[in-house]
Chain A
Amino acid sequence: MSTNEPTGAPLAPNQDPKAQEKPRKTRKIKTTKDVNGVPQEIEIEVEDVDGPRWGERKDLKVLNTELRRVDGPVKVTGRARYTHDVRLPGMVYARLLCCPYPSAEVTIDVQDALKLPGVEAAIVLETKTRFLGQPIAVVAGRTSDHADDALRALKVTYKPLPWAVDRAQALAEGAPNVRKNGNKGKPGQNGDRAEAEAAIAAAPAKLEATYSVPVQHHASLETHGVVIDYRGGEEATVYISTQWTFAAVGQVAELLGLKANQVTAIVEHMGGGFGSKFDLGSEGAVACRVAKELKKPVHLMLRRPDEFVMAGNRSGNRVTYKAGMNADGTLAGLVANAEKFGGLGDGSMARPPYVYSAGKTYSEVVAVYTNTDSNRAMRAPGHPQASFGMEAVLDELAYQLGLDLLEVRKANLKDKVWHRQLERVAKEIGWFEHPHRTKPGPNSGGKELGIGFGISTWGGGGSGGTECDVQLAKDGSVTVSVGTQDLGTGSRTLVTAIVAEEFGLQLGDVVARIGNSRLPSATGSGGSTTTGSLSPAVKDAAWNARNAFAEHLAPILKTEAALVRFAGGKVFSQANPNAAMTWKQACATLRDAGLNAHGKWDKDRAAALMGNGVHGAQAAKVEVDTLTGRVRVLEMVGIQDCGLPINRTAVRSQLNGGMVQSLSYALFEERVIDPVLGLALNANFEDYKLAGPSEIPKMTSIIDDDDQRSATIGMAEPAIVPGHSAIANAVHNACGARVRDLPLTPDKVLAALGRIA
C-alpha cells in the first residue's frame, strides 16, 4: 500500500440500482410433485442465473440483520490472542531506541549493555538520522525488563544536525534540505486560475481565508509490532499486527534468507490499524535481523512513545481558499492553494472542491517536507483534510448572503442522494426548528447552541486477489477459510454470515478460519475495500459449494439440482418442501472427506455482487460557552449508504466510531513538536488527547436503507470524513466564532470570540 495516497477528484458515486443489476432471467423446469400422495408432472419457474447473487433483501435471513460478532466470546473473555500476547519458548524481548531529534549524527556504544545479565543483543541501526523518532538501535533481553535495562545502558551521543519540523522551518530561507530536491514537492495543478479568479471577482459574495488541520495520529490501541519465530533452520512464523496477512511473508523470507513458502504469517486478532499497518515496517525488519542473529524467537512491539513518532500519521494541511458565491447559493468559482504536511511523505489531500460543484475551479496542491516520519494512509486519506475548508467556505459565504446552510449545500451538490441524506440528518437534529439557519447566533457571554453539516464520499469497491474455500464435513460442520485479517471491523463475522446465508444456516453453524497466510489469498484491508474484495470471493465459494451440494443431493431428494433448497437448517426440493432432510442428515450423505469448494473474486461475477461509491451526510449540534470557550458536542447524526449491509451492528459501529474519531480530531488531536528543541512533546495518551467516554454526545447513526443496491460496499472510511467540519461549522453557527485551524481548543474559540486582550 503506497503512502502516497491518491489525490485525484472525488470518486463519483453511482447509486442507480439499474446500472448495477442485470435483468432477472428465469427458465422453466419440468418436475414431479406429490399432490395428496400422487406424483404429478408440474412445471416450475426458477431463476436462471449465471453466477451468484445476493437475492432479494426481504428473503435474507442472516445478511442485513443485526449480527453478533463471531469473535465476541473470545474477545469479551480476554482469550483473544494479539501479537502482543504471543509467548514462545526461548523468546527474547526486543526494544528499539528511537532518535529523540529530527536529524542527528549518533554515536552509540553498546558494550555496557551487552555485559548486562539477560541481555542477548544490542545492535546499532543508524548513525545519521533524518526524522524524529528514527530507530537507531535495538536491544534484546530474556525478559522485557532485561531489554529495558539494556536500553538504558546504551551510551549514546547525539550531535544534532539542522532540521525542519514545521512549515515555517521547512520554507525558511536557508532551511536544510529534508529531501534531496528540497522541501517542496512538485505541485499538482488543476483548472484555469484566471478563469476561476474572474468568476470569483464577478460573484456577489467573496471570501479569502486559510484553513488548516494538524497532523493526526492513528493511535491504535495495540502498537505496531511482530513476533518473529525463527530458530534457525528452514521455517519461520511471523505473528504480526497488520492490515494485510500476506504483506510480510515475502519481506520476512528475504530478510531471513528463506523462501516465501517457508514463512507463515499469522494475524489471529489485531488491535486496530486505521491505515497505518500494511507492511512489515522497519520494526519488523529489525526483529528479523535480531532473530536471524540469535536464532531465537523475537518479540518486538513498539512502546507507545515510539509509536507516536515512527508509526505514521495523517498528514496535516493548510489551504488558502478564494471563493465566490452567487445570489442563489451556487459557488461561482474557487481557487485553492494547498500545502500538505506529511513529514518525509507526500501527504494526502482530495482535490478541492471535494464533493461540491464550484463553478470555475483552480487548485494547486503541494507537499511540504519535514524531518518527521512519513504520513501513512489513515482512514479516508485526504478527505477529512479537504472537507474541513470546503464545508467552512460554504457556511461563511452563505452567512454573507443570508442563505440557509442546508439549502446552500444542496445548491452545490449535483447528486440528489446527498439532498435526501441532508434532509434526513437536518430533520433528526432539529435544523428546521433551529433559530440560526441563515446567520450565526450571538456572542452573548452565555451558552449558545449551534448546528453544522458535512458531506462525505468514498469508493468502497473491491478488487481481485481474494480466494476462498468452503468445506462441508460429513458431521454437518461448515468451515469457511480465507487468509484475510479482521482489524476489528468484523470480517470474520462477514465471511461466516455469507456462508450461513447461502445454506440457510445460523451464524454459529459456520466456523471461519482467517488470519493465516497458509489459507487462500486475500487482499489487504485498506480504503474500505475489504467488503468489496472479500464478500464476492466468499459468496462465490459458498455458491459453488451450494451448487456442488445440490448436485450431490438431487438424486437423493429425487429432484433436480436447480430445485434443491437450503433454508431454516433444512434441505428439500422446491417441488416437495414437506420431504425435507435436516442439514445434518444431508451432510451425512457426503463421502468421508466431505465437500470442498473453492471460489474467488472474479471480475464478471463480482460485478454482480459488489458496488462502488458511497454517500454520507452528518450533522452536529454543539453548545459553546462564550465566556470560557468550552465546546461541548451535544449530538451527532450521521447517515451512510453502503449498498447491501452485511451486518447492521457492525455498520453502525463503524459509523459511531468514525464520527467519534472526527469529534476527537475536531476538539483535541494534534501532534506537537518543539521546533527549536526538536522534541516530540505529546507522544503519549495524556497529552495527545483522544476523545474519551465522557465526550460522547447523543449519537444517531443511520444506515441509509433507501439505497437498495444489491451490492456490498465498504463504508468505514467515509464515516470519519465530515464530522469535524460539521462541529467547526456548528461552533461558528452557535456564536459567530469561526475557528479556521483545528483542533477547536478553548484558546482558539476565545480568540475567535474576541475575548483575548
Chain B
Amino acid sequence: MRVLHLLINGDRVTVAAPEHWTLLEVLRYELGLTGSKQGCDKGDCGACTVLVDGKPVLACLTLAALCEERAVTTIEGLLPAHVKSGGSGPDPVQAAFDECGALQCGFCQPGMMLSARALLDRNACPTRTEIQDALAGNLCRCTGYTQIVEAVELAVAKHCGVAPRRPGSARPRGRSRPPPRRA
C-alpha cells in the first residue's frame, strides 16, 4: 500500500492504494468516481479516458502512483471546471453532446467527451477530420459516431462563431493542420 496525494478535478485527495493500482482502479474503487468506465481494461476502448495535465490518457493503463503532482480531470470534473472558469452550467462539450443526442447507452461518452475536450483545449476550431482523429481511440457501439462528431462540431461552432454543419452538408471552415498520411 502506498499513500497517494492526488489532484483530482481540482481537489487534493489523499488515498491509500496498492502500488500496482491503475488510476482507473483508484478512481472507481477508492474514490467513487465511477464516471470513468471500465470497458476493456486494456487500453483498447477509450471508455476510461481522463485528462492528465490536459492530455487524454487511458486511466486503465496509467499507474495511479505516477499521477501524484499532476492534474487529473475526470468526467465529474468537467462541469465544475467550466463553472469555475466563469462559465455557467455544463462544459460546452457536454452541452453539445446533450443537444445533439450524441449518446445512446452512454457508456462510452465520458471518455469520448474528455477526448473532445482535450482536442478543443489545444485546437479550438478543428476540422471534421481532426475531430475524428482526436476521437479515434474511443469506441462506441450504439450511435455510429455521427451525432458525436456533429456534437463536437456544434461545440466548435458555438466557440468559433461559425454555423454548425447540418447533417450531410459541407464541412465548416476551421484552422487546419495536415493530418497524418494514410494509405
A and B associate: yes
User: How far, in angstroms, from A686 to B133 measured CA to CA in the complex?
Assistant: 17
- Determine if A85 is an interface residue (Cβ-Cβ < 8 Å): yes
B168 touches A489 (CB 8 A): no
- A144-B25, A221-B37, A685-B139 are known contacts. Are A696 and B144 too (CB-CB below 8 A)? yes
Interface residue A718 (Cβ < 8 Å from any Cβ of B): no
The answer, yes or no, to whether A652 is at the interface (CB within 8 Å) is: yes
Residues of A within 8 A of B39 (CB): 221-222, 304, 685
The 8 A CB mask of A656-667 against B (1 = contact, 0 = none) is 111111000000
Residues of A contacting B131 with CB < 8 Å? 693
- The answer to whether A700 and B167 touch across the interface, beta carbons within 8 angstroms, is yes
Asked if B52 is an interface residue, CB under 8 A from chain A, the answer is no
Minimum C-beta distance from A385 to chain B (A): 19
The B14-47 residues at the A interface (CB cut-off 8 A) are 18, 21, 25, 28-29, 32-42, 44-45, 47
Contacts of B145 in A (CB 8 A): 656, 660, 692-693, 696
- Does B154 sit at the interface, judged by CB under 8 A? no
Is the interface on chain A under 10, 10 to 19, 20 to 34, or 35 or more residues? 35 or more
Q: Is A490 an interface residue (CB 8 A)?
A: yes
Task: Decide if A694 touches B132 in the complex (CB within 8 Å).
Answer: yes
Give the docked Cα–Cα distance between A639 and B39 (Å): 32
B88 sits at the interface (CB 8 A): no
User: In the docked arrangement, what's the CA distance between A145 and B25, Å?
Assistant: 9
User: Which B residues have a C-beta under 8 Å from some C-beta of A?
Assistant: 18, 21, 25, 28-29, 32-42, 44-45, 47, 74-76, 78-79, 90, 94-95, 97-101, 103-110, 113, 131-133, 135-149, 167-168, 183
Interface centre among A143, A269, A693, A701 (most CB of B within 10 A): A693
Residues A221 and B94 in contact, CB atoms below 8 Å apart: no
Nearest-Cβ distance from residue A26 to partner chain B, whole angstroms: 38
* A87 CB-CB contact with B under 8 Å: yes
Give the number of A-B contacts (CB < 8 Å): 187
Residues of chain B within 8 A (CB-CB) of A652 are 101, 147, 167
Chain B residues with Cβ under 8 A from A270's Cβ?
A: 105
CB distance from B183 to the nearest CB of A (A): 6
**Which residues 56-101 in A have Cβ within 8 Å of B in the complex?**
66, 68-69, 71-73, 75-82, 84-85, 87
Q: Which residues of B contact A650 (CB under 8 A)?
A: 101
Q: Find the A residue at minimum CB distance from B41.
A: A304
Give 24 pairs: A residue, B residue, CB < 8 Å, sorted on A: A68-B98, A68-B99, A72-B97, A76-B94, A76-B95, A77-B35, A78-B35, A78-B74, A82-B34, A145-B21, A220-B141, A221-B108, A221-B140, A222-B105, A222-B107, A269-B105, A270-B105, A271-B106, A653-B142, A690-B141, A692-B135, A693-B145, A696-B132, A699-B167
> B168: which A residues are within 8 A, CB to CB?
698-700
Decide: A692 and B136 in contact? CB cutoff 8 A: yes
CB-CB nearest in chain B for A145: B18
User: Which of B90, B105, B139, B140 is A487 in contact with, Cβ under 8 Å?
Assistant: B105
Q: Which residues in window 443-460 of A have CB below 8 A to B?
A: none
Closest 3 CB pairs of A and B: A78-B35, A488-B105, A660-B144
Q: Are A653 and B147 in contact (CB under 8 A)?
A: yes
- A685 and B148 CA atoms in complex are apart in Å by 20
- By the criterion CB–CB under 8 Å, are B94 and A304 in contact? no
Q: Does B104 lie within 8 Å of A76, measured CB to CB?
A: no
A78 with B104: CB separation less than 8 A: no
A303 partner residues in chain B, CB cutoff 8 A: 41
How distant is the Cα of A427 from the Cα of B44 in the complex, in angstroms?
A: 38
